[in-house]
A and B are shown apart, each in its own frame.
Chain A
Amino acid sequence: MSVGPMISDLLRSLFKQPATELYPFVKTPAPTRLRGKLTWDPTSCTGCQLCVKDCPANAIELIVIDKANKRFIMNYHADHCIYCAQCVVSCRFNCLRLSNEDWELAAAQKQPFEVYYGKEEDVALFMEQAAKTGAKQA
């Protein structure tokens, strides 16, 4: 039984730095295992679609341009992603990785969350086709 067992701690706090992190101004480095934005390496992808099937949030789309020549584009919806790393485990060819650097993904528009991965010429080709079909529909 005592009155105010916290007082010594309180007085110590008065002369300590506040525990609050001044986040946007002072940044602490993220741990190495942090799960941030998904990155995809197209070179070894076989297009097995396991990552698409296993993704619980339907954040991954694999667009096939040419199955025989292994030309794929990945459409990654960063706003759907729940960063569970199931796709990373599911991929047998280690194409997928969750970055620990790119994790500040807030944006005011929807557009930055639509990410296309792939070889440059493939993405360009796909975009061209999408623009064409879009124009036709309109």
Chain B
Amino acid sequence: MNLSLPPILVLLVFPGGLFLIASGLIYQWADRKLVARFQNRIGPRFIQPLADTLKLLAKEEITPVGVHKGLFFALPVIALAAALTAGLYVPLSGFRPAASFRGDLIIALYALSVLTLTMGLAGANTISRFSLVGATRTLTQLFSYEAPFLLSLLGPAIAAGTWQISEINTYAGQNLWLIIAQPIGFLVALIGLMGKLELPPFDAPEAETEIVAGAMTEYSGRGFALFRLGKDVELIIGLTLVSAFYLGGLGNPLEFVLKTLALLLVLALLQTAFARLRIDQTVGLWWRAGALLAVVQLIAIVLGRNLGTIF
């Protein structure tokens, strides 16, 4: 499907900007609700994420002693901006991406990494000991999941023969679902997404029983709200990317909702099923299992393609 809207609306209202933030909040609610139901609880009301965000925005923002003031204020803005930028290149709600060019997959993933980087920097900017440990863990985790996640998204890209998200999406829609063709890649992408979103069991960077809120400990009010919004947007973009690549593409809004929610269901199940991994276990898992699996999948794809051209 295609929509032609004036660029300013595309950026601020749909599909970027407000719509992206709103759907991010809705998906955050869906995630919390599903986790609660898996744990036999009731879970939050529909309005809860919005109420949380408004409350945080209305609250006083405390600037702690010892931070670089400019960075402290700029980092949350950069974080949300990076996440929103990434949103422009993905087929949100099944429409064609707002912007598209060759190699935008790399840009989108890079923008999402910027979000994590800013969180790491935000932690390192303060003198709080919880934040510093959290920042170290955030960045350590970034280096561990990034490569396998990228490799797992490269699989569909190689299969489609392009590095443009919209074209991979079209390719995935026209061919056999890639989850069947590349099951290992899907698994790595799913777990990689959990690592990227710092969801349990990969939530060592913000393990509350050890380091309170990790890198975010010193943030309150507006800054914290923006970081949270950034995370919500990251969640929806991650879900869109993985379901577009592996679950047969996203052609229309209905398909988008069904596929991303199905993916979220699996994500919520995995969140509740495990104990938190220590950061050394996380890194070990990624480099020993994740990266290896992703490489095996890539080799299989390359071999398959080459053999295909021979025969």
The interface bits of chain B over 273-294 (1 if a CB of A lies within 8 angstroms of the residue's CB, else 0) are 1100000000000000000000
- For A6, what are the chain B residues with a Cβ–Cβ distance below 8 Å? 272-273
Q: Which residues of A contact B272 (CB under 8 A)?
A: 6, 10
Selected from A4, A7, A19, the residue in CB contact (under 8 A) with B40 is A19
Q: Which residues of A contact B37 (CB under 8 A)?
A: 13-14, 18
Residues of the B chain whose Cβ atoms lie less than 8 Å from the Cβ of A13: 37-40
Given A4-B274, A18-B37, the answer on whether A10 and B42 have CB atoms closer than 8 Å is: no
> Do A14 and B38 touch across chains, with their CB atoms under 8 A apart?
yes
Contacts of A69 in B (CB 8 A): none
Interface size of B in residues (CB-CB distance below 8 Å): 13
- In contact, A4 and B38 (Cβ under 8 angstroms): no
Does A11 have its Cβ within 8 Å of any Cβ on chain B? yes
Interface centre among A4, A7, A10, A19 (most CB of B within 10 A): A10
In the bound complex, how far is the Cα of B273 from the Cα of A19, in angstroms?
18
Would B269 and A19 count as touching, CB distance under 8 A?
A: no
Verify B40–A16 contact, CB threshold 8 A.
Answer: yes
Least Cβ distance of B87 to chain A in Å?
Answer: 30
Nearest residue (CB) in B for A15 is: B37
State the total of A-B contacts with C-beta under 8 angstroms.
Answer: 31
A18–B273 contact, CB under 8 A?
A: no
Contact B40 A11 (CB under 8 A): no
Q: A133 to nearest B CB, angstroms?
A: 51
Given the known inter-chain contacts A4-B273, A4-B274, A11-B269, please indicate yes or no for A20 contacting B41, CB distance below 8 A: yes
Tell me the residues in window 39-74 of chain B with beta carbons closer than 8 Å to chain A beta carbons: 39-43
In the complex the two chains form, what is the Cα distance from A14 to B34 in whole Å?
8
Check if B41 sits within 8 Å of A10, measured CB to CB: no
Encoded as 1 (CB less than 8 Å from any A CB) or 0, chain B from 245 to 280 comes to: 000000000000000000000000100111000000
Chain A interface: which size bin?
Answer: 10 to 19
A89 to chain B minimum Cβ distance, whole angstroms, is: 40
A18 vs B39: C-alpha distance in the bound complex, in angstroms? 8
| Contacts of B216-268 to chain A: CB distance below 8 A | none
Given A4-B274, A13-B37, A14-B37, does the pair A20, B42 have CB atoms closer than 8 Å? Answer: yes
Partner of A19 from the list B38, B41, B274 (CB cut-off 8 Å) is B41
Tell me the nearest residue of chain B to A13, going by C-beta. B40
Bound CA span A14–B40, Å: 7
CB distance from A85 to the nearest CB of B (A): 34
Q: How far is the CA of A10 from the CA of B273 in the complex (A)?
A: 8
A6 to B273, CA, bound (A): 6
Mask for B23-41, Cβ within 8 A of A = 1, else 0? 0000000000010111111
A contact residues around B274 at 8 Å (CB): 4
Quote the shortest CB–CB distance from A21 to chain B (angstroms): 10
B167-181: CB near A (< 8 Å → 1, else 0) gives: 000000000000000
The winner among B34, B42, B43 for most chain A CB atoms within 10 A is: B42
In A1-50, the 8 Å CB interface with B consists of 4, 6-7, 10-11, 13-14, 16, 18-20
- Rounded to whole Å, the gap between the CB of A82 and the closest CB of chain B is 31
By a CB distance below 8 angstroms, the chain A residues around B38 are 10-11, 13-14
Could you tell me the distance between the alpha carbons of A8 and B116 in the complex, rounded to whole angstroms?
33
Q: Which of B34, B41, B269 contacts A18 (CB 8 A)?
A: B41
Is the CB–CB distance between B273 and A7 below 8 Å? yes
Cβ–Cβ < 8 Å partners of A16 in chain B = 40
| Sample of 16 further A-B pairs with CB below 8 A, known A14-B37, A18-B42 | A4-B273, A6-B272, A10-B38, A10-B39, A10-B272, A10-B273, A11-B269, A13-B37, A13-B40, A14-B34, A14-B38, A18-B36, A18-B37, A18-B40, A19-B41, A20-B41
Q: Which 7 residue pairs are nearest across A and B when measured between Cβ atoms?
A: A4-B273, A13-B40, A18-B42, A10-B38, A20-B42, A19-B40, A14-B37
